[in-house]
């Protein structure tokens, strides 16, 4: 279970992407009371917003082109400011990667909680993505080991002999078996290319 970071939010930077007349003054005031530095922008986020700690964005008038990153790939927690609960608008908010929400009209309550929830969900999402990436890397490495073993098998070795040969290569090169396998597979691919070139030369 991920731990919610509840440390002081003072000096965190929040961008509010909302039309000037959409009642954002109260939200800005509450964020500043909590201790955040607030930047109000419209109609799109500037590239420097990529360094912000939070982005709060208007759902009712929002669209994809307002963000300098692909949908759902924000580098910080995102909080959706929702007025209309039309399914299409809610779907768009989720697609953009909402980690928490505030309902209009935004009052004095719930803002601090939304910040913490957004940051917790953002941290959990990134931890999950890192875990998935690690698993994919491990799976790819195992598949490479199998490919390297099969190269030796095709050259007349048994699977046990092939794996032992790969292990010996790894020890000689002082690398992991996965790295040795990758080199064997790459070398074999180069040999095949050279053979094909010779045949067509």
pLDDT, position 4: 47
Domain ranges, ordered by start, for the chain: 13-109, 131-199
Alpha-carbon span 160 to 150, nearest angstrom: 11
Report field, pTM of the whole predicted structure over 0.75 = no
Distance of CA 181 to the CA centre of its chain: 29
User: How does pLDDT run across 44-89, given as a tens digit for each residue?
Assistant: 999 999 999 999 999 999 999 999 999 999 999 999 999 989 999 9
Q: Which CATH number fits domain 131-199: 2.40.10, 1.10.10, 3.40.50, 1.20.120?
A: 1.10.10
Fold assignment, 13-109: Rossmann fold (3.40.50)
Residues of the chain with confidence (pLDDT) below 50: 1-4, 6, 193
H/E stretch holding 95 reads helix 87-95
Long-range CB contacts (within 8 A, 24+) of 63-68: 63/92, 64/96, 66/17, 67/96, 68/44
pLDDT, position 103: 93
């Amino acid at each position: 279970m991920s731990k919610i970071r509840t440390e002081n939010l003072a000096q965190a930077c929040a961008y509010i992407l909302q039309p000037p007349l959409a009642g954002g003054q109260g939200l800005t005031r509450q964020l500043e009371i909590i201790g955040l530095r607030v930047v109000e922008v419209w109609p799109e986020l500037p590239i420097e917003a990529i360094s912000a700690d939070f982005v709060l964005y208007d759902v009712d008038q929002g669209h994809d082109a307002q963000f300098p990153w692909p949908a759902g790939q924000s580098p910080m927690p995102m909080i959706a400011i929702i007025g209309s609960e039309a399914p299409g608008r809610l779907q768009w908010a989720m697609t953009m990667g909402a980690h928490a929400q505030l309902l209009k009209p935004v009052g004095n309550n719930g803002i601090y909680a939304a910040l913490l929830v957004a940051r917790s969900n953002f941290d959990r999402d990134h931890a999950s993505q890192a875990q998935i990436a690690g698993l994919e890397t491990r799976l790819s490495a195992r598949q490479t080991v199998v490919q390297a073993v099969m190269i030796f098998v095709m050259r007349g070795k048994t699977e046990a002999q092939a794996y032992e040969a790969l292990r010996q290569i790894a020890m000689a090169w002082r690398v992991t078996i996965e790295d040795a396998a990758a080199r064997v597979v790459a070398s074999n691919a180069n040999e095949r290319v050279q053979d094909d070139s010779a045949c067509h030369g």
